[in-house]
Amino acid sequence: MTLIGHKKHGSLNKPSLGNFGRNEWAIIGGLCSVIKSLADKVFAALSPHYQCAYADTSHHDDTIKPGRLLSGASIEYNDEISYSTVNYHTSLNPFKLKEIFAPADLVLVNGNHQQATAQIVIICPDKKASLQKRINQLTDVQLFLLDEGENEVFDFLKEAVPNWQNIPKFSIDEPDKLITFLQNKLEAAKPKINGLVLAGGKSERMGFQKGLINWHGKEQQYYLADLLKAYCEKVYISCRDDQQNIINQAYNTLTDTFLGLGPMGAILSALRQKSDEAWLVIACDLPLVNEQTLAHLIQNRNTKAIATAYKNNTDNLPEPLIAIWEPKSYTVLFQFLAQGYTCPRKVLINSDSFIMEAPNPADLTNVNTEAEFKEMRQILNSKQSL
């Protein structure tokens, strides 16, 4: 039942998603076989660098359900060794589709059957009438593909598509140009990186606030924030409500809105604040992190993954608290939280993350106890005396 005049209860920053994902194009106006062939060529070229996805509607008779669905199962999962399939008994609603397509950097859609926020229109005489019926679906035409022998767009498109003269036109026999077009679009849409210094912990093992330790001539929370400024769009110090008044007003703060979850709550709070941007997260217990550590991380950033992180050589596990968390990680983090897991390292281990060696593994040494504090102080003093 739909409630007339129903209003949402809270205001949240929503990710910029289309019907399926952030970057989606419906290829419309051509034969389905041609659309699938174009998608195959695009995916072959771009899948090494981007998560690619495809949406379509089957031409097969769907009155007979496959496998165990016919017997009444609601979900059927098959591990096909080299790939997996999941069949659902019912149609997927728009919210479920966004969840499934969340990891995708690029979604191509058969526009003859499904809609997307942007469109690539094929000028094909055999599909002219079909395209004209779908004229209302052309909300953001970004490219024309001319079929063999075609030199101009249809007259009804000139009337319906604003600024049609300025929209690029390629031959359908030039797939490399289509690939370059989409690659340029994806590069332009690459999420910006913000910095987040984790200073909201209570430092119970240390006995005093780790963010307030002066390792390099200033409090560590400010030292790290200043380091991040050279690499990030904006930098924030993640803190508790009761810390805001004692943090220097020259620095941006971001208070936890997911309480009692430790670092995972801070990461979720940041993604909630800016859900279309990436976050370079760094903890205050890493005194040896320097420009080289951060620059190497950013230079090797892999936006195809949910996060880019270093491997800690002491245990060969990923370090979630010096990592770049992509916008697509937001959904993944929530999925783990819904299953009762609040460890961001567990998310990295069990998700599509990119883990690499640090240029200097010692830079990842963390300090959490008073004994480790004294040892690190000796290390830094010896370095300064050289």
The pLDDT of residue 26: 98
Q: From CA 160, how far away is CA 116, in angstroms rounded?
A: 17
The percentage of the chain sitting over the pLDDT mark of 70, rounded to a whole number, equals: 93
pTM across the whole model: 0.91
Is 203 a residue whose pLDDT tops 70? no
Q: What is the mean pLDDT of residues 73-101?
A: 93
Among the residue ranges 1-5, 88-92, 96-100, the one predicted with the least confidence is 1-5
The pLDDT of residue 242: 82
Place domain 24-57+69-188 in its CATH homologous superfamily: P-loop containing nucleotide triphosphate hydrolases (3.40.50.300)
Q: What is the DSSP string of 55-66?
A: E----S-TTS--
Q: What pLDDT digit, counting tens, does each position of 150-176 carry?
A: 999 999 999 999 999 999 999 999 999
Is 30 a residue whose pLDDT tops 70? yes
Is 177 a residue whose pLDDT tops 60? yes
The pLDDT of residue 344: 97
Is 110 a residue whose pLDDT tops 90? yes
Place domain 193-385 in its CATH homologous superfamily: Spore Coat Polysaccharide Biosynthesis Protein SpsA; Chain A (3.90.550.10)
Chain-centroid distance of CA 3 in Å reads 33
Q: For residue 198, give the nearest of 245, 291, 277, 261 by alpha carbon.
A: 261
Mean of the per-residue pLDDT values of the chain: 91
Q: What pLDDT digit, counting tens, does each position of 61-79 carry?
A: 666 788 899 899 999 999 9
Q: What pLDDT digit, counting tens, does each position of 130-155 carry?
A: 999 999 999 999 999 999 989 999 99
Q: What pLDDT digit, counting tens, does each position of 275-298 carry?
A: 999 999 999 999 999 999 999 999
Is residue 105 classed exposed, middle or buried when 0-12, 13-18 and 19+ CB atoms within 10 A define those classes? buried
Q: What pLDDT digit, counting tens, does each position of 211-261 carry?
A: 888 888 999 999 999 999 999 999 999 988 888 888 999 999 999 999 889
Domain locations in the chain? Answer: 24-57+69-188, 193-385
Is 87 a residue whose pLDDT tops 60? yes
Q: What is the mean pLDDT of residues 310-332?
A: 94
The pLDDT of residue 102: 94
The pLDDT of residue 313: 84
The 3-state secondary structure of 249-298, one letter per residue = CCCEEEECCCCCCCHHHHHHHHHHHCCCCEEEEEECCCCCCCHHHHHHHH
Residue matched to tokens 């669905």: 69
The pLDDT of residue 373: 82
- In this prediction, residue 369 has a pLDDT band, given cuts at 50, 70 and 90, of confident
Encoded amino acid at 360, one letter: N
Is 3 a residue whose pLDDT tops 50? no
The b-or-e profile of 226-253 (16+ CB within 10 A means b, else e) is ebbeebbeebbbbbeeebeeebeeebeb
Tell me the chain's radius of gyration from C-alpha atoms.
25
- In this prediction, residue 2 has a pLDDT band, given cuts at 50, 70 and 90, of very low
CB count within 10 Å of CB 211 equals 26
The percentage of the chain sitting over the pLDDT mark of 90, rounded to a whole number, equals: 76
The pLDDT of residue 372: 84
- In this prediction, residue 202 has a pLDDT band, given cuts at 50, 70 and 90, of low
